[in-house]
Chain A
Amino acid sequence: MSKYVVKATARTIKNYTKGYSDIQAKVRSATSNDPWGPSGTLMNEIAKATYNHNEFIEIMEMIDKRLNDHGKNWRHVFKALTLLDYCLHGGSEQVVSYAKKNLYVVKTLTEFQYIDEEGKDQGANVRQKAKEITNLLQDEERLKQERRNRD
């Protein structure tokens, strides 16, 4: 446990030294290397923030960074996909158009692979999630429907 306190502290220090905004710090925490998933409350808060244009830009910048992280940080990638998926459903329309324009970033993750020190392939979850989002983004009707159901 203390290990994660140290890591969270390190993250806080980094947020500060890199000058990340509050909402970016939240994205970083929702997409961290901690082995548990982000809370619904946190993701919801981030999704709501995408309705503010400045925060939308900051959020997307951070998600983009996480999506393109090294294999070693595969949890960053996986959680960034999870968060993106959440924002596609519960965030602003801008998230949808941004994600469509940059579909290739997600689509190219469908062959993501990372073999950890124990020889285990940690990429399967990323590949699966990337496929789901790619399909969703290519299916206008379904995406509309699912966004409507959210409201």
Chain B
Amino acid sequence: MEAHYPTRPVDREKAEHDLALNIKKATSPDETAPKQKHVRKCIVYTWDYRTSDSIWNGLKVAPILADEIQTFKALITVHKVIRGGHPVTLKEAQNQINWLDSCARSVTGDGSRGYGTLIRVYVDFLKAKLAYHRHHPEFNGNFDYEEYISLKNVDDPNEGYETISELMNLQDQIDQFQKLIFVHFRPSSSNECRIAALVPLVEESYGIYKFLTSMLRAMHKRTDAIDALTLLRTRYNAQHYGLIKFYYECSNLKYLTSLINVPK
């Protein structure tokens, strides 16, 4: 593939050096959120150079898997980079399933710091997300509704049905994961590191919700067999109330509300 030259005034050598440093800082052993500025540098890198290879390399050379907190922070970072990065990032992430699996294997039980289960469930979710994008390449990593051009899949009722119901599966998985995060809060801790994982989940679930709403609407306009959609409608309603509850609980987390607008 031809190398991409950014229009911004950047220097590749310096960028590679800074990237390695930013990955290291984003996945430091402190039990805090990965700092957004470090994650941002990774995201900007993928747009500048249209590759994420160096990010995966950076994650693999660092001794991240020996420490639960570092592993968890690495997963948050990966999630955010897949969401915000250049579309090539999402494609390249498809080749990193082994690395994700090795994260899941790196810790037994709940781990000494209480991140074991969260890590395994996060890996399951990321793998499901990657699989969804593999089957439905028309969605970008952050399910950005504004950037979506046409709901072409809904033209074909069968395909539309499948697209929606698989997206609902993903939404259910987010819901289970977010509940598990709340269950794992520790009263003695600020829980910042765990809350940090909720940030992309709020954004992701809201993006998915907006798609589901408009795709379902379009299906209802088109299909004669409204009855066939009953199951989807029931699930949609259940998810709707699940989200209201999720967002309500998030609205009580100061760290989170100071950073993003939680939908109501």
Q: Which residues of A contact B (CB under 8 A)?
A: 60-61, 64-65, 68, 70-71, 98, 101-102, 104-105, 107-109, 111-113, 121, 124, 127, 138
Contact = CB atoms under 8 A, between A and B. Distances in A.
B188 to A, nearest CB: 21
Given A65-B9, A111-B199, A121-B258, 17 more contacts: A64-B8, A70-B37, A71-B37, A101-B7, A102-B6, A104-B44, A104-B47, A105-B8, A105-B47, A108-B40, A109-B40, A111-B260, A112-B37, A113-B35, A113-B36, A113-B37, A113-B259
Nearest to A134: B146
B141 interface: no
Contacts of B90: none
A98 B40 contact: no
Contacts of B36: 111-113
A108 B7 contact: no
Specify the main secondary structure of chain A where it touches its partner: helix
A108 B258 contact: no
B227 interface: no
Interface string B23-43: 000000000000111001001
Interface in B72-106: 84, 86
19 contacts: A60-B9, A64-B8, A64-B9, A65-B9, A70-B37, A98-B7, A102-B8, A104-B43, A104-B47, A104-B84, A108-B84, A109-B40, A111-B40, A111-B199, A112-B37, A113-B36, A124-B258, A127-B259, A138-B147
Given A61-B9, A108-B44, A113-B36, A138 B146 contact: yes
Contacts of B8: 64, 102, 105
Contacts of A104: 43-44, 47, 84, 86
Contacts of A127: 259
A108 B8 CA distance: 15
Contacts, number: 45
Contacts of B147: 138
A65 B147 CA distance: 27
Q: Nearest 3 pairs between A and B by C-beta?
A: A104-B47, A108-B40, A61-B9
A24 to B, nearest CB: 12
Contacts of A61: 9
B205 to A, nearest CB: 17
Give the one of B40, B199, B260 with max A CB within 10 A.
Answer: B40
A111 B259 contact: yes
Nearest to A139: B146
B44 A105 contact: yes
Contacts of B199: 111
B116 to A, nearest CB: 28
Contacts of A64: 8-9
Given A108-B84, A113-B259, A102 B7 contact: yes
A112 B43 CA distance: 13
Interface in B9-57: 9, 35-37, 40, 43-44, 47
Contacts of A98: 7
Contacts of B86: 104
Contacts of A101: 7
Contacts of A102: 6-8, 47
